[in-house]
């Protein structure tokens, strides 16, 4: 390849990059606009909010005072945190437990279990809603925080288990065969060999569950009655929603909105390697 051709290719590449940056920048202005709106408004004071009827995009009187609302929300934050941590750790763990024998061994009834697990992912939660509610009332779980994490002790949803099964199937069989020869039993194989190799899918599912639980609205709406027991999402809804008593304090609302957004963002950024392209369906690169 001649030097001239090389330099023209390099120039083409540069042009391509610049064009892409411009297009991406324009798109991102649109995509991140709600974000900017929320952030800006959270730094406004009441004068900026009223501003004689004219809505401001940028704050004129910059203030952090709105963020003091978070102090009132520490109780709800703790509730959310408990729910998120228990679900985020236990759902992937119990899902891995179920997935392990189905992915690695053949035994009587394995196909039945596999089908059953896949079928559960099709059941709309509304079908279970009323009897589950009555069951939770009977089990004294209604209006307790436990109602939001009890399910995590018993395996995740069908789709999550399916994903783990696909992931585990791709791990080379020789690994556990070698371990069996060395006298390891299934539990040792699961704990010492499979779990470390499944860390990526574990994190992928754990973070997904954690964020979903942080955002969950329907579950806490049905099960948590006492205000002090509510999670952040429903507390936010009851206080700042259309019928909430402070719904018109939009600057405070947006400060709280920013607080609500920080947790999923941090979690995602820490685990971004696993969350973006770290998990490939049924493929573990050796």
Partner 1 sequence: MRAKKNDSRLGAFLRGAKKEYSNWLFMLPFIVGFSVFVAYPIIMSFVYSFTDFNAIRIKNYGFFNYENIFDFSAYGMGNDIWKSFGLTALYAVISIPLNMFLSFTLAMALRKAIPGIRGIRLLFYLPVLIPGIVMGQIWTDMLGHPEGLINQWLGAIGLPANTFFSSEKTQFATLIAISQWGIGGGMIVWLAALENVPKTLYEAAEMDGITFFGKLFKITLPMCTPIIFYNLIGSIIGALQVFDTYAYLGTGQNNGLYFISIRIYTTAFGGRVHDYGLACALAWVLFAVIAVLTGIMFKTSSWVFYGDSKQ
Q: Which 65-104 residues touch partner 1, going by CB under 8 A?
A: 94, 97-98, 100-102
Residue 200 in the binding site for partner 1 (CB under 8 A): no
Residue window 209-248: x/- pattern of binding to partner 1, with contact defined by CB under 8 A: --x--xx-xx--xx----------x--xx--xxx------
For the bound state, the minimum distance from the C-beta of residue 129 to partner 1, rounded and expressed in Å, comes to: 6
203, 109 contact by CB (below 8 A): no
Which has the closest alpha carbon to 134: 219, 223, 231, 234? 223
Rank residues 62 and 191 by Cβ distance to partner 1 and give the closer one.
191
In the range 112-141, which residues lie near partner 1 by CB under 8 A? 113, 116-117, 120-135
The strand ranges marked E within the chain are none
- Shortest distance in whole angstroms from residue 273 CB to partner 1: 10
**Candidate list 9, 47, 62, 153; residue touching partner 1; CB under 8 A:** 153
Q: Taking CB under 8 A as the criterion, which residues in 253-272 touch partner 1?
A: 253-254, 257, 260-261, 264-265, 268-269, 272
Identify which of residues 53 and 196 has a Cβ nearer to partner 1 in the complex. Answer: 53
SS3 category, 172: coil
On whether the CB atoms of residues 118 and 158 are closer than 8 A, the answer is yes
- Give the shortest CB-68-to-partner 1 separation in angstroms: 18
Q: How many CB atoms lie within 10 A of CB 110?
A: 13
Closer CB to partner 1, 175 or 212, in the complex: 212
Least distance in angstroms from the C-beta of 235 to partner 1? 11
Of 209, 210, 263, 267, residue with least CA distance to 236: 263
| Chain residues 3-62 in contact with partner 1, contact rule CB under 8 A | 16-17, 20-21, 23-24, 27-28, 31-32, 34-35, 37-38, 41, 53-55, 57
Q: How far is the CB of 179 from partner 1 (least distance, A)?
A: 14
Nearest CA-CA partner of 180 in 190, 170, 168, 171: 190
DSSP 120-163: HTTS-HHHHHHHHHHHHHHTT-TTSGGGGTGGGGG---HHHHHH
CB atoms within 10 A of CB 107: 9
Distances (CA, A) of 280 to 66, 78, 170, 198: 42, 34, 11, 12
> Binding mask 156-195 vs partner 1 (x if CB under 8 A, - otherwise)?
---x-x-----------------------xxx--x-----
């Amino acid at each position: 390849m001649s030097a001239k051709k090389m330099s023209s290719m390099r120039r083409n590449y540069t042009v391509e990059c610049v064009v892409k940056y411009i297009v991406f920048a324009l798109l991102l202005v649109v995509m991140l606009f709600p974000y900017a709106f929320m952030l800006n408004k959270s730094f406004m004071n009441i004068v900026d909010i009223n501003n004689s009827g004219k809505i401001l995009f940028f704050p004129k009187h910059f203030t952090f005072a709105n963020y003091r609302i978070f102090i009132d929300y520490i109780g709800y934050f703790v509730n959310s945190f408990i729910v998120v941590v228990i679900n985020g750790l236990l759902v992937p763990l119990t899902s891995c437990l179920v997935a392990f024998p189905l992915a690695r061994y053949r035994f009587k009834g394995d196909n039945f279990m596999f089908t059953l697990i896949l079928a559960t992912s099709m059941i709309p939660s509304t079908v279970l809603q009323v009897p589950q509610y009555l069951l939770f009332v009977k089990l004294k779980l209604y209006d307790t925080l436990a109602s939001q994490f009890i399910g995590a002790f018993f395996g995740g949803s069908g789709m999550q288990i399916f994903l783990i099964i696909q992931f585990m199937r791709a791990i080379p069989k020789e690994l556990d065969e070698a371990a069996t020869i060395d006298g390891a039993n299934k539990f040792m194989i699961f704990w010492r060999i499979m779990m470390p190799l499944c860390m990526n899918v574990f994190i992928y599912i754990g973070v997904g569950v954690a964020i979903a639980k942080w955002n969950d609205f329907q579950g806490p709406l049905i099960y948590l009655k006492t205000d002090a027991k509510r999670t952040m999402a429903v507390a936010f809804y009851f206080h700042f929603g259309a019928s909430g008593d402070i719904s018109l304090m939009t600057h405070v609302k947006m400060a709280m909105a920013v607080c609500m957004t920080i947790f999923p963002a941090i979690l995602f950024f820490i685990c971004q390697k696993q969350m973006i392209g770290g998990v490939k369906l049924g493929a573990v690169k050796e």
